[in-house]
Amino acid sequence: MERAAAEPHFVLVPWQGTISHIIPMTDIGRLLACHGAAVTIITTPANAPLVQSRVEDLATPPHGAITVTAIPFPAAEAGLPDGCERLDLLRSPGDVPRFFAANKQFGEAVARYCRGSEAMLRLRRRPSCVVAGMCHSWALGLGRELGVPCYVFHGFGAFALLCIEYLYKHRPHEAVSSADELVNIPALPAFECRVSRSQLPPHFAPSTTMGCGTMQEIREFDVAVDGVVVNSFDELEHGSCALLAEATGKNVVAVGPVSLFRSPHVDPQAMTGDARRVMEWLDTKESKSVVYVSFGSAGCMPPAQVMQLGMALASCRWPVVWVVKGADSMPDDVKKWFRESFDSNKCLVVRGWAPQVAILAHRAVGGFLTHCGWGSTLEAIAAGMPVATWPLFAEQFLNERLIVDVLGVGVSVGVTKPTENVLSAGKLNGSRADIEVEVGMEQVMKTLERLMDEGDEGEQRRRKAQELKTKANRALEKGGSSYMNLEKLIQSLVS
Ligand code: UDP
């Protein structure tokens, strides 16, 4: 939809800590541009090629003015290696505070740019709205200085955000004495949601590598922003968007699933050689016969746990695509085991970047074993794909409850303890040998049997997943809820 030049100008600054934030925020930029708004996406040099590749994808609908700007990230000034512009590139958990210090300086550079760079002047318009990633707490000052609304994008779903809001306000976790004890989070009236204290998001952990000060700033940013942009759709999370708006008093704008606005067959990440290899492998398999296994953009497990999972995948009844991150930093004996254990016709191990959206849309894939990151969760929903849930950390245990108990499209592997990650306390990769294995090979096999079950239970999950896929597509179509939410957001800035 083309609009006149006086239409609003959105400045989007994705949180550059993880690729999983950059992907949906770039796609939100593309969606806004499709609705006729001008968009500037500001990122760091190391992340700019990813943003640019998604913006330049000409096979997607026509777009208005969209500019990608790379502003240097002062990694070296903060004591980080040059080019260390994402959390997965850090050397150790000790680098986390340095990364957040560099991010503050990055914020100052973004503000200088927005105050009146030549590029902004060339666009002949001042920003009308700032949309910032969840850790860019400096963006509030920028919005206030420019006199425009500031929205936050967390990368979480509305249900998880609603639970987090409940936890901040009512603090039920403080009445629980042990990490294994269940915390009741009655955020949605019709559903019971209980997770153990150790499964809560890091906001409520006794300590994180980010430090209390940064956590506090992020919360203050959340409380002060004018609105929340969510990659979800109003019909999905049983009223969570409206309840979140009520609980926070903010404009909550669900604009997703953003992965759906481009055809999965032109997923920019599906164009590399490695990705083509996966797609060609899938072409040789029967419909709905393959299990796709992935733990997100950076999810790693301890080697002993990886091996239990691997043994289950090698011996289960279905062909498998398994995306493994951090394989290079595994001990040598595990690397050797990887090389020797898999028949590539039965289990295709992908060590690099998999074209996930294209894989989920492939007719051969019948189930997805996921870590329940919100991006993956929504991509599975958009593809009508039943899932097996293996949450690792962050808000993923809350997403598991939504998937299994509320939406009825998943079976739980039964993980009880979070896996350590860089933001909690553990090492950066899965190379810790001293961590106990929680999920044995048999448990994985049983879960996969349920996931791929051809009986009534499996059929019911598949039917529900297909219904959600239909609703997801409708939300983005002209007149659909996400389409209208984007229109309303743009209109609110015009008036
Ligand atoms: N992803 C991908 N290929 C990979 C790994 C991840 O395309 O090999 C994408 C995936 O499609 C999703 C994002 O990376 O868009 C992962 O986001 P999510 O919120 O699920 O997990 P996170 O990476 O934050 O743990």
ipTM of the complex: 0.99
Q: Is the confidence at residue 425, as pLDDT, over 80?
A: no
One domain for residues 374 and 447: yes
Locate the ligand 1 atom nearest the alpha carbon of residue 353 and give its number.
8
Is the model more confident about 187 or about 338?
187
One domain for residues 193 and 153: yes
pTM score? 0.94
**Each residue of 69-91: pLDDT tens digit?**
999 999 999 999 999 999 988 98
One domain for residues 109 and 28: yes
pLDDT reported for residue 428: 43
Domains: count for the chain: 2
One domain for residues 319 and 443: yes
Give a yes or no: residue 357 inside a domain. Answer: yes
Give a yes or no: residue 2 inside a domain. Answer: no
Give a yes or no: residue 397 inside a domain. Answer: yes
One domain for residues 89 and 231: yes
Position of tokens 């990230």?
73
**Each residue of 298-315: pLDDT tens digit?**
888 888 999 999 999 999
Give a yes or no: residue 192 inside a domain. Answer: yes
Give a yes or no: residue 378 inside a domain. Answer: yes
Contacts of 359 (CB under 8 A, 6+ apart): 278, 279, 282, 292, 321, 365
**381: CATH:** 3.40.50.2000
Q: Which residues pair with 253 in a beta bridge?
A: 229
Ligand 1, from 20, 22, 27, 424: best to mutate by most atoms within 8 Å of Cβ? 20
One domain for residues 351 and 402: yes
One domain for residues 253 and 269: no
One domain for residues 269 and 252: no
One-letter amino acid of 446 = K
Q: What gap in Å lies between CA 360 and CA 376, rounded to an integer? A: 10
Give a yes or no: residue 4 inside a domain. Answer: no
Contacts of 182 (CB under 8 A, 6+ apart): 176, 194, 195, 196, 197
Q: Is the confidence at residue 57, as pLDDT, over 80?
A: no
Ramachandran area for residue 256 (φ above 0: left; ψ -120 to 50: alpha; else beta): beta
Locate the ligand 1 atom nearest the alpha carbon of residue 370 and give its number.
20
One domain for residues 407 and 349: yes
Give a yes or no: residue 334 inside a domain. Answer: yes
Give a yes or no: residue 135 inside a domain. Answer: yes
> Residue 458's domain spans which residues?
265-472
Pocket of ligand 1 (CB under 6 A): 18-20, 23, 269, 294, 296-299, 323, 353-354, 356-357, 373-376, 379
One domain for residues 35 and 92: yes
Ligand 1, from 350, 356, 377: best to mutate by most atoms within 8 Å of Cβ? 356
